[in-house]
Structure 1
Amino acid sequence: MTEHLTIPTPAGPFDAIADGPADGRPVLLLHGFPEAGIAWEHQVAVLGARGFRAVAPDQRGYSPGVRPERAAEYGVTELVGDVLAIADELGWSRFDLVGHDWGGAVAWWTAAEHPGRLTTLTVVSTPHPGALAHALRTDQDQQLRSGYLTEWRQTSTERRMLANDADALRRMFEWRVPPSRVDEYVRRLSEPGALTAALNWYRAGRPGGEIGKVDVPTLYVWSTEDVAFGSTAALDTENWVTGAYSFQMLEDVTHWIPEEVPDVLTALLVDHLR
């Protein structure tokens, strides 16, 4: 049965959903933009039923209790620090980490900088940041796909995304996420300051250092119809993983893998965790 948790940390309290026995093998699942921990509702329930202890927090800015005003407070250092702080509060010295979209980027950085904390890594959609950076320098297709990044850093973005009953925000999901779920995301991001906090992930600036290769056992799942991430960075990601590596390509699926094909992704995830 899915539970709702409040996880206290030095940065503030994170809201989360969870399932599974308290002593089950720990799995932390990180959502992306513009979603919340409930993006993982299906995966959390299945993992819990299989004896894992699965927790999916609303990340920094998405949890009302951890919503700093300054964009600089949404940098990679802070986001990785949140992952470790949540795990520490849950009593997890090691855990399996799963991430999608921005949550995937945070998962890559966590694995690169703190490999001793992770049992396995699963990243959905988001290529390794090193592979993405290389593609942004060399691949015109990826440069075009990433054009939205400049636009979303502008201060007028919130107004545009929320205009006309958040039409622009709703269209982002490409009609591949259940309408009731999209309504919930829109409701949350329409709260004062919430969308600004979510967009501050993009406005925080680039990480201070270069990311290294990952030696944690890794599953990377990418879909051919992903509007944000092209094949160049996706296929190059294997060159950034020195540990055991599995690449799964899903045909005719968009960016919204966890909610568009929840059964397919969950089966891949469970197989990887085994």
Structure 2
Amino acid sequence: MMTTTNHTCPYACTFLTTNGVRLHTIIAGPENGAPVVLLHGFPEFWYGWRHQIPVLAAHGCRVIVPDQRGYNLSDKPPRVADYNMDALSDDMLGLLDALGYERATLVGHDWGAAVAWWTALRTPERLHALVILNVPHPGVMRRYARRHLSQLRKSWYMFFFQIPRLPEWLIRMRGFAAGRRALLTTSRPGAFSQEDIARYVEAWQQPGALTAMINWYRALFRHPPQRLPHGPRVRVPTHILWGKRDAFLEHEMASLSRDLCDQGRLTFFDDATHWLQHEEPDAVNEAILDMVQAHKEA
């Protein structure tokens, strides 16, 4: 394990080897604190949890925030198959192993939430609790998209990303304007500053990052998740948080997802979008801390 600091990261930045890759990982908070892993989605990186890291750490949590494989400073395996759901979940389990944790509270947004769901379904014994932001249970997503053309329309970009090389070429040719626009036009005003956008563009420009990030979508189509060994029900205590103004995912899937959880809660935010942790940071922090505290008291 190597620990460094640099001008773009105010925390200890560690490179951890897990499941055959090195993940650039932020670690904050007391060493004996309850472990909480924060998983970002597309097109973010660890910085997407900037409103959560200091608050959780100040409340005594050991906060672990990786750049997931393919993103920012983490390794970027070359094959599409390297981004299948089992591999992404195994990255998180290996991260816990590398840090010596048997179990942790897992928090995910967007693709990070998909990894969190999958990890809870595959290996519930490794998790204390699950906090999900604006992504449905994987089984719900498949069924709902087949039956609702409105959701398929919102997912158009997933199909566009299946084209080899063209999406990357267009994004680069236009100076990453599509990424900037996606963040700014689908979020509440003020959720992302120009400085924030500059940080994202810097991460997207890392060698190999753009193709690696898009390969997550390609792997979903070409190497879809296999049957779960324990069935579709989530046995880990779960709190789903959902901004109803999500431009990408319909909120009706949130209730269907909660219904597949043995110990599930659901909180809607009427005025929030897909970028919930940026727009409602205090509420998200409180929900995470409540789940950590509930585990301590159990």
Pairwise CA distance, 1:8: 2.2
Of 135, 145, 163, 1:136 maps to: 145
Once residues 220 and 271 of structure 1 are traced to their aligned partners in structure 2, the CA distance between those partners, rounded to angstroms, is 13
Once residues 165 and 139 of structure 1 are traced to their aligned partners in structure 2, the CA distance between those partners, rounded to angstroms, is 34
1:249 has 2:249 as partner? no
Taking structure 1 as reference, are residues 158 and 74 closer, same or farther at Cα in structure 2, changes over 3 Å only?
Answer: same
| Corresponding residue of 1:98 | 107
| Corresponding residue of 1:72 | 81
Secondary structure at the aligned position of 2:50 is classed as helix
Once residues 200 and 132 of structure 2 are traced to their aligned partners in structure 1, the CA distance between those partners, rounded to angstroms, is 22
Once residues 19 and 178 of structure 2 are traced to their aligned partners in structure 1, the CA distance between those partners, rounded to angstroms, is 35
1:127 has 2:136 as partner? yes
| Corresponding residue of 2:292 | 273
Listed one character per residue, the Cα deviations across residues 36-75 of structure 1 (whole Å, up to 9, x for unaligned) are 0111122111111011101110001115442111111100
1:258 has 2:277 as partner? yes
Gaps of 5+ in 2: 1-9, 186-190, 294-298
What is the total number of aligned residue pairs between the two structures?
A: 273
1:11 and 1:66 in contact (8 A); partners too:
no
Secondary structure at the aligned position of 2:15 is classed as strand
| Corresponding residue of 2:7 | none
1:45 has 2:54 as partner? yes
Give runs of ≥4 in structure 1 deviating > 6 Å. Answer: none
1:189 has 2:204 as partner? yes
Secondary structure at the aligned position of 1:267 is classed as helix
Of 75, 84, 92, 1:83 maps to: 92
Pairwise CA distance, 1:165: 2.3
Listed one character per residue, the Cα deviations across residues 149-199 of structure 1 (whole Å, up to 9, x for unaligned) are 101121211122233321101011135322212211111112231100000
Once residues 288 and 116 of structure 2 are traced to their aligned partners in structure 1, the CA distance between those partners, rounded to angstroms, is 15
Once residues 258 and 158 of structure 1 are traced to their aligned partners in structure 2, the CA distance between those partners, rounded to angstroms, is 27
Pairwise CA distance, 1:127: 0.8
1:177 and 1:260 in contact (8 A); partners too:
no
Opposite residue 196 of structure 1, the aligned amino acid is: T
The TM-score normalised by the length of structure 2 is 0.88
Pairwise CA distance, 1:262: 1.6
1:160 has 2:170 as partner? yes
Secondary structure at the aligned position of 1:153 is classed as coil
| Corresponding residue of 2:227 | 209
Q: Which of 180-189 and 121-130 deviates more? A: 180-189
Pairwise CA distance, 1:250: 0.7
Q: Once superposed, what is the RMSD of the aligned Cα atoms?
A: 1.5
| Corresponding residue of 2:296 | none
Gaps of 5+ in 1: none
Once residues 267 and 155 of structure 2 are traced to their aligned partners in structure 1, the CA distance between those partners, rounded to angstroms, is 22
The percentage of aligned residue pairs carrying the same residue is 36
Q: Which of 169-178 and 82-91 deviates more? A: 169-178
Once residues 18 and 154 of structure 1 are traced to their aligned partners in structure 2, the CA distance between those partners, rounded to angstroms, is 36
Once residues 11 and 57 of structure 2 are traced to their aligned partners in structure 1, the CA distance between those partners, rounded to angstroms, is 8
1:225 has 2:235 as partner? no
| Corresponding residue of 1:13 | 22
Once residues 9 and 271 of structure 1 are traced to their aligned partners in structure 2, the CA distance between those partners, rounded to angstroms, is 29
